[in-house]
Amino acid sequence: MGTKGFMSSILIDDNWGKIVSIIERELHMTDQEAIEAFDQFSNWTCKDIENGIKGQANYLVALGLVSYTEFLGGLFTGNAGITDEAKNNFTEAIKNFPAEYTEVDRKIVLEDGPRPTIKGIYSAVRCGLVHEYGIKGTAGVLNNPDGFCAEHIGIKIGLFGGKNGIIFSTNEFFRDYQQVLKNVAEKLNRKDQSLLDNMRTAFTRLAARQLKA
C-alpha cells in the first residue's frame, strides 16, 4: 500500500471523523493497491487456518474463522473497524456463503434463562467463541487434520453428546470461506467499483490508526 509517509502528517484528534477526513486526503489507494491488500489478507488468513487445522487447534481455528469472516464482511460494507458494526459486517459476509448458512442462521434459537433469547450464528457461534471460549449452548467443534471435507456446510444443527446442538466443522467452514475469497477476488479483477470503493474506505480507516505516545 502506498502510504506516502502519511502518518507523519497526521495530528491525532479525539474526533475520529477529522482523522478519517485527513487520511482520505493523504492516502490515495489505487484499485490495484486495494486488490493487493485483499490478496495479502486472503493469503495470511488461509495460511493461519491451514496450520491450525493441521495442528488440531479446533477452537482456535473456529475462532479465527468467524473473526476473519467478520472482517471480510467489513471489507464488503466498508465498515471494518467501526464500533457497533461487527454484527452487520458478519451478517453481510455470511450472505456470500452457501445459502444453507442462512437457513441454519434462522434455526439457531437458544433460551438463556431470564436473559434475551440468543438467535443466529453471530450471537451463538461468533460471540460465544470470542467472549466465552466456546459456542453457546450444547455445541462442539470438529476438525480433521488431514484436510478432508464432507459435503455438508461448516455449521449445522445435530446431535452432539446425546443432545441437539450446534456443530462447527472447521474443514468445511474453511472450504466455504476460501470459496468466498475466490469469488471476491474475481469481482475485484473484474473491477467491481462499488466493492473496490468499500475496500479502499475500510483499509484507509485501518491505516489511519496510530498509537498515542
Report pLDDT digits (tens) over 175-191.
999 999 999 999 999 99
Number of domains in the chain: 1
pLDDT tens profile 2-16: 433 333 333 444 444
Distance CA 182, CA 178 (A): 6
Rounded to the nearest integer, the mean pLDDT of the chain is 88
Q: Is residue 2 part of a domain?
A: no
pLDDT tens profile 2-55: 433 333 333 444 444 544 444 444 456 888 888 999 999 999 999 999 999 999
* Non-local CB neighbours of 114 within 8 Å, separated by 6+ positions: none
- Which amino acid does the sequence have at 210? Q
Q: Is residue 71 part of a domain?
A: yes
State which residues form the domain around 125: 7-207
Q: Is residue 1 part of a domain?
A: no
Q: Is residue 212 part of a domain?
A: no
Q: Is residue 118 part of a domain?
A: yes
Tell me the pTM.
0.85
